[in-house]
Chains A and B, each alone.
Chain A
Amino acid sequence: MNAEVKSGQNQATLELQNVSRSYGDEWSQEHIIADFSLTVESNKLTVLVGPSGCGKSTLVNLIAGFDKPDSGKILLNGKQVTGPGQDRMVVFQETALMPWQTTRQNVVFGPKLRGERSDADIDAEANRLLDKVGLAEFKDKYPIQLSGGMQRRAELARAMINHPLIMIMDEPFRGLDAMSRELMQEFFVRLYEENRRTNLFVTSEIEEAIFLADRLVVLSNRPTSVRKVIDITLPRPRDFHMLSSTEAYEYKREAMELLHEEAMRSFNRASGSGLMDAIAGGGGGD
């Protein structure tokens, strides 16, 4: 218990300084991320929202250390990120539980490999975490036997047992049906409010973003950079009713407008003619 509380109070600031990444060769280079600067503040839930395909996973890969930026720096507590490490836990867009390990084996996988703690200690914490995410009964099942929502919770447990400085979640609830998605959002927000670690959450759903966020980062279109950071001051603990408040509505309108502008801008660039300007101008009323 102690370790967990301590890590919750750990300072963890992630800084992205002018990060750029492009794919392709010299002749047909595609700039996915350009000049991306952002400070992910300690013990806050920062949500990145941007359309599908804008480069969110690319950015996550850079922060996780699976990929290197072409230019710019990524610093965690002032130290440059050079590769994957257990100080940054990623919950992936697609489920990445090892199908050949039971839920419990998946959860204890990291700590047991590293052998920093005694097995008894790890097992005790695993049981506690599995209890917390409501999977105590399913600990000896294989991932394939769990529902989509359960898999996501197992993944949360697998990340949390490592006490990372920062949790990075790449559209973790994508692909769940509306009902379990809502349940997972509620569950996740509870978990966060209980113990405020530094969290970077990536999504393409505005409502989800507003419901969860302390800080909402609206992304620009490709090449992706930060369009605007909005502080969300909805009270905590959150519940879904707050989403129908005028305050939430204002946030939503603002974010939607920004994203719409961005979408229009790239649409114009793609079509390369003034025609779309005319349409955008005409349809700007909605």
Chain B
Amino acid sequence: MTLYRFKKALSTPTPYLMFFGIALWLGCYYLFVEGWQLPRFNKLPGPVEVITEWLNPNPDWGMSLFTPIYYEHTLVSCRRILIAFAIATGVGVPLGLFMGWSKTFRDYSFPILETLRPIPILAWVPLAILMFSGLETPVIYLATLASLFVTTLNTLLGVDSIDEEYFRAARCLGAKPHHVFMHVVIPGALPFIFTGLQISIGVAWFSLVAAEMVSGEFGLGYLIVDAYMNVTYVIMVIGMLTLGFVGWFSAALVRIAGNRMMEWRVRALALEGR
């Protein structure tokens, strides 16, 4: 069952369409760079070159699926995302739930959230470096911050989206405030929470890579900038593609978790033919 869900989540579009899409994309890439050799693309490595290098046990540029350094960069980034995403979710979801639930708490905290949220994550970089020592913490801090805002706001909107009827029904049935919180507020907000989490993990990757490009000595963001500086464009493209794959994979994991926690929602969407 888990395997089935896993396959299903990965293949959200019908599988053959997905392969067709990838083939189309690779085909264009090949034609532009290696086939027609268009002038704008002449500095880029073509797909054949990239894939050969990626799968090469003795890589010409020093990095492929067979070198530990490749995994080191990937794992460092994944670890940072895991920490950042866990903190952002652990703080953002309860924060959003309370903001949605308690009018007073919301009136206090909403202006803070709304002023901090529009500040682009790169504008936080100097502050992060000033506040935290070392290389690891500022990077994680930046990724956490970005996804925290998204998660909190979506959770808050999720609570807002709950129909008043459910609160009334619960109170009519004798529910105390903590029952209402557990049985109405949380489950009612879950669909929005998980939509938020999917966006939030994307935002976390985005800001993580931005932060890694600015500072750090490991991670996929660092790898890409480093490769660019050293004119090893093949490695740069490998780094980008790797980012694409891990990003997709992490979003799929969030989606699977969401489907597991909201069986009623899966049924509802299935009824609508989705």
Question: A interface vs B, CB < 8 Å?
Answer: 64, 66, 83-86, 88-90, 92, 94-102, 109-110, 113-114, 142, 144-145, 158, 162
Contacts and interface: CB of A to CB of B under 8 A. Distances in A.
A94 B168 contact: no
A84 B172 contact: yes
Most chain A beta-carbon contacts within 10 A, residue among B169, B183, B188, B190? B169
B190 to A, nearest CB: 7
Given A92-B165, A96-B166, A100-B262, A113 B175 contact: yes
Interface size class of B (residues with CB under 8 A): 20 to 34
| Most B CB within 10 A of own CB, among A90, A97, A113, A145 | A113
B229 interface: no
B55 interface: no
B168 A100 contact: no
Interface stretch (B10-18, B39-47, B58-66, B264-272): B264-272
Contact of A109 (B168, B183, B263): B183
Contacts of A64: 168, 172
Contacts, number: 74
B260 interface: no
B171 A84 contact: yes
A8 to B, nearest CB: 20
B134 interface: no
A96 B187 contact: no
B267 A144 contact: yes
A96 B165 contact: yes
The 10 closest A-B pairs by CB, nearest first: A110-B173, A100-B187, A96-B165, A96-B169, A142-B264, A84-B171, A144-B268, A86-B174, A114-B174, A100-B264
Contact of A99 (B170, B179, B268): B268
11 contacts: A84-B168, A84-B172, A86-B172, A86-B173, A88-B172, A89-B172, A98-B170, A100-B187, A100-B264, A113-B176, A142-B267
